[in-house]
């Protein structure tokens, strides 16, 4: 395909989700996916900033939309692989239109940098949506040279992509089937995973670890109960929590789960016949050796060992607080 998309990578692609970025770049060629990275993009603020002050939070997000619109060059579609980035960009576009005071305040802030954004000027879409609905499963199937036969996969979207579904892009906000269909097109055996849109705990790993461990344990124990070989996600936060905090969760509950979780783009790359190391395998904490062996592949050596952990208070970090003088005017 020749359509160009404005690409918003987000911060995690440069750090905790390098495997997502590497595998996306690897499969873009075979798929004919033309991604043009937005120049001078900035962090979307993840989730916490919206709980502190709305106007600067949405201005931070909308700056990316304003830059994207300036650089559109014939396209109006912004693609975000990260679930939190996708949600924040979509929310900024939606609320700037729905709440005029907020929209005006955000544009006043943007004007300080010579920018402006009219909500509705761009289509904000997730990478999975583009692959399913623009590229199409027929094209994906045609690229498969190494069917993932016999690999039992638990599709895990997390809670941020399918809802709120402002533009009605997903088959069902509570139980979407897009990821399932894609994984089946790769030849995998896809289990009917009941927790596919449940929360991984997000940043509760830092704020309230015990709560996060409960949520992570629920996910991996369910995937194990359904005899999944691997969980597959499209969310950097979900991947990091389930992967990096699985050992801590095991210690907390005195369990011994070893459930790998990878990005759907990595699995696509394997099915396309690409090298596992090129796709970012080896960066994970929980070994993918057994999963790769099941489809006749060897696991690459770990890219790097995990850095030593800093001591952390068992009660976690403090929750962010709204300023005392904050009002609801900016959301009117």
CATH of the domain at 32: 1.20.1050.140
pLDDT at position 320 over 50? no
The whole-number pLDDT of residue 106 equals: 98
Residues 161 and 93 both lie in one domain? no
Nearest to 183 by CA among 132, 240, 145, 235: 132
Q: How big is the CA angle at 280 (ends 278 and 284), to the nearest 5 degrees?
A: 150
Average pLDDT over residues 255-262: 98
In a domain, 279, yes or no: yes
What's the token pair of residue 295?
A: 């489809």
Residues 165 and 118 both lie in one domain? no
Q: In what order do the strands lie in the sheet with 123-126?
A: 34-37, 4-7, 77-80, 123-126
In a domain, 139, yes or no: no
Total number of domains constituting the chain: 2
- Domain of residue 16: give its range: 4-126
**pTM score:** 0.92
Average pLDDT over residues 290-294: 98
pLDDT at position 118 over 50? yes
Residues 197 and 150 both lie in one domain? yes
- Write out pLDDT tens, residues 187-227: 999 999 999 999 999 989 989 999 999 999 999 999 999 99
Residues 104 and 183 both lie in one domain? no
Residues 161 and 262 both lie in one domain? yes
Residues 204 and 241 both lie in one domain? yes
Alpha-carbon gap, residue 84 to 61, rounded angstroms: 11
Q: What is the CATH number of the domain that holds 170?
A: 3.40.50.11810
In a domain, 134, yes or no: no
pLDDT at position 310 over 60? no
The whole-number pLDDT of residue 45 equals: 86
Average pLDDT over residues 95-113: 97
In a domain, 305, yes or no: no
Residues 119 and 186 both lie in one domain? no
The whole-number pLDDT of residue 319 equals: 46
Alpha-carbon gap, residue 179 to 196, rounded angstroms: 10
Cis peptide before 180 (omega within 30 of 0): no
The sign of the dihedral angle between the CA atoms of 58, 81, 227, 138 is positive
Residues 9 and 51 both lie in one domain? yes
């Amino acid at each position: 395909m020749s359509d160009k998309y404005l690409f918003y990578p987000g911060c995690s692609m440069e750090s905790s989700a390098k495997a997502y970025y590497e595998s996306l770049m690897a499969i873009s060629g075979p798929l004919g996916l033309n991604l043009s990275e937005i120049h001078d993009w900035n962090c979307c603020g993840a989730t916490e900033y919206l709980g502190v002050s709305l106007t600067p939070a949405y201005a931070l997000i909308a700056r990316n939309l304003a830059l994207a619109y300036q650089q559109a060059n014939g396209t109006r579609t912004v693609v975000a692989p990260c679930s939190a980035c996708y949600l924040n960009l979509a929310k900024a576009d939606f609320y700037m239109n729905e709440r005029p005071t907020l929209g005006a305040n955000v544009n006043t802030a943007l004007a300080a940098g010579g920018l402006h954004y009219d909500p509705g000027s761009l289509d904000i879409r997730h990478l999975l949506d583009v692959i399913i609905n623009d590229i199409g499963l027929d094209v994906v199937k045609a690229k498969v040279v190494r069917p993932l036969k016999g690999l039992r996969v638990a599709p895990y979207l997390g809670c941020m992509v399918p809802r709120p579904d402002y533009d009605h892009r997903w088959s069902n906000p509570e139980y979407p089937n897009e990821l399932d269909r894609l994984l089946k097109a790769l030849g995998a055996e896809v289990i009917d995973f009941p927790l596919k849109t449940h929360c991984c705990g997000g940043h509760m790993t830092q704020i309230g670890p015990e709560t996060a461990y409960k949520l992570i344990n629920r996910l991996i124990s369910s995937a194990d109960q359904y005899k999944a070989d691997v969980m597959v996600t499209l969310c950097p936060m979900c991947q990091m929590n389930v992967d990096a905090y699985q050992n801590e969760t095991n210690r907390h509950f005195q369990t011994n789960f070893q459930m790998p979780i990878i990005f759907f783009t990595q699995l696509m790359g394997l099915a396309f016949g690409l090298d596992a190391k090129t796709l970012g395998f080896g960066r994970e904490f929980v070994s993918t050796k057994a999963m790769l062996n099941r489809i006749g592949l060897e696991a690459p050596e770990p890219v790097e060992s995990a850095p030593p952990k800093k001591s952390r208070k068992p009660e976690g970090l403090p929750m962010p607080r709204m300023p005392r003088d904050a009002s609801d005017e900016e959301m009117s």
